[in-house]
């Protein structure tokens, strides 16, 4: 591969094959003679290895976006998936040859010139490798919690002292695909106010929910058939109608009846969970039996509280006397796998699988199980006939 390659004759090629002890009969008749072009160099181009699905996206005219700030490991995002990017080195030099024909193309084109002169436009010793990863969404809640919405009368809300974020802002700041970001905004009950995504401050959220549950109680409505129109008419003088509808969407399922009227079926588990959070957030630890009694008394009539409604929100310590319960929110734990396990084993030395699952379930990659995560990051043992898990490494 040199400048002379462009002028090499068939006779010279045959001599080279003979020197290399290659049988021309076992090779295709067409020969590529390669030479370096004037601009050929390393580092001018990057190679990206794509799975067939991502290739199809590009061929269909859609975009792939690289996201990440200077202090973050870059990820590549399609419309609905996120991929880690890692450089893979190769011992073979990879050459960029515009218009180069593959053996398959040469076989199909029997009329190909006997000698094909090609110029190398660039070369590389590595390429970017993609691996499907969890979207990095913890930062999304963190950004929105910089300025939670406290209601229309809040003085803080009328003075723009905090950052607020549009969809475009979040797409530039969050390492996730657009669909994953929009889905997570629904999961965390964010809403758009004057074009900006906001999370309702928890006390304001509970105030709105209380208005709705009191109206349900006073009107003796079924929890599975709460009419939107009447809620807006009755509560519109107390709070903005957009906020009343948002709280119904957050804590209920919207549907139409046969006449086309909008109704909501309220989510019992989610309402009970929110009221538990309200009770627990002001206490470091709560006597379990006392908490369960107060909790049941605090939820709307007709609703039943159960401890399994609190998965990923609160933890019960049955080893203490009396048994206690305390707030431990999965969203406040680290996003990195090892850091998450370190944090959990600092809180409690030994965990049963039932107790730890709600706090590591979201770490599972595609097709990965909680059991596989525990095998990798924890060590199991038996304690009083029950399998428990502790850290594989010393926790400082």
- pLDDT, tens digit, 9 for 90 and up, residues 287-303: 999 999 999 999 999 89
Residue 17: both structure tokens together = 């094959």
Q: What is the pLDDT of residue 158?
A: 65
What b/e readout covers 308-339, taking b as 16+ CB neighbours within 10 angstroms?
A: ebbbbbbbbeeeeeeebbbbbeeeebeeebee
373: phi then psi, degrees, rounded to nearest 5: -65, -45
DSSP-assigned beta bridge partners for residue 264: 226, 254
pLDDT of 161 > 60? The answer is no
DSSP-assigned beta bridge partners for residue 256: 262
More confident residue, 166 or 159: 166
The helix/strand/coil state of 128 is strand
Predicted confidence (pLDDT) per residue in 318-360, tens digit? 888 899 999 999 999 999 999 999 999 999 999 999 999 999 9
Q: Is 324 left (phi over 0), alpha (psi -120 to 50) or beta?
A: beta
> What pLDDT band is residue 112 in, cutting at 50, 70 and 90?
low
> What pLDDT band is residue 27 in, cutting at 50, 70 and 90?
confident
What b/e readout covers 284-294, taking b as 16+ CB neighbours within 10 angstroms?
A: eebebeebbee
Predicted confidence (pLDDT) per residue in 343-354, tens digit? 999 999 999 999
Give 100's DSSP letter.
P
Per the CB < 8 A criterion, the answer to whether 340 and 363 are in contact is yes
Listed in sequence order, the DSSP H helices in the chain are: 10-19, 52-59, 103-108, 138-144, 155-158, 167-173, 178-187, 202-219, 228-235, 241-251, 268-280, 288-298, 337-347, 353-360, 370-377
Count the neighbouring beta carbons within 10 Å of the beta carbon of residue 177: 23
């Amino acid at each position: 591969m040199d400048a002379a390659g462009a002028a090499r004759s068939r006779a010279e090629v045959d001599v080279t094959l003979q020197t290399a002890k290659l049988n021309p009969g076992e090779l295709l008749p067409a020969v590529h003679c390669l030479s370096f072009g004037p601009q050929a160099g390393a580092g001018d181009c990057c190679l990206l290895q794509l799975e067939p699905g991502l290739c199809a996206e590009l061929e269909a005219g859609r975009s792939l976006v690289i996201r990440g700030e200077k202090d973050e490991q870059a990820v590549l995002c399609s419309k609905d998936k996120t991929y880690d990017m890692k450089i893979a080195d190769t011992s073979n030099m990879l050459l960029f040859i515009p218009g180069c024909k593959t053996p398959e193309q040469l076989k199909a084109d029997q009329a190909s010139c006997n000698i094909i002169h090609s110029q190398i436009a660039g070369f590389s010793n590595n390429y970017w490798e993609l691996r499907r990863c969890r979207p990095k969404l913890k930062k999304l809640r963190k950004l929105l919690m910089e300025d939670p919405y406290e209601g229309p009368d809040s003085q803080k809300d009328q003075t723009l002292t905090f950052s607020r974020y549009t969809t475009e802002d979040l797409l530039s700041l969050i390492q996730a695909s657009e669909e994953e970001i929009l889905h997570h905004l629904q999961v965390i009950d964010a809403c758009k106010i004057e074009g900006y995504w906001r999370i309702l401050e928890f006390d304001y959220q509970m105030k709105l929910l209380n208005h709705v549950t009191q109206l349900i109680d006073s009107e003796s409505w079924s929890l599975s058939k709460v009419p939107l129109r009447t809620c807006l008419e009755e509560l519109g003088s107390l709070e903005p109608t957009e906020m009343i509808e948002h709280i119904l969407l957050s804590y209920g399922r919207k549907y139409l009846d046969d006449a086309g009227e909008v109704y909501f079926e309220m989510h019992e588990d989610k309402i009970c969970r929110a009221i538990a959070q309200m009770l627990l957030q002001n206490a470091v630890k709560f006597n379990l039996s006392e908490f369960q009694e107060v909790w049941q008394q605090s939820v709307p009539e007709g609703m039943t509280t159960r401890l399994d409604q609190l998965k990923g929100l609160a933890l019960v310590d049955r080893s203490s006397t009396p048994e206690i319960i305390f707030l431990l929110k999965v969203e406040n734990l680290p996003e990195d796998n090892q850091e998450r396990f370190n944090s959990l084993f600092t809180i409690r030395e030994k965990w049963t699988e039932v107790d730890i699952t709600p706090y590591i379930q979201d770490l599972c990659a595609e097709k990965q199980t909680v059991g596989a995560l525990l095998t990798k990051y924890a060590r199991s043992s038996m304690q009083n006939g029950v399998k428990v898990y502790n850290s594989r490494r010393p926790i400082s």
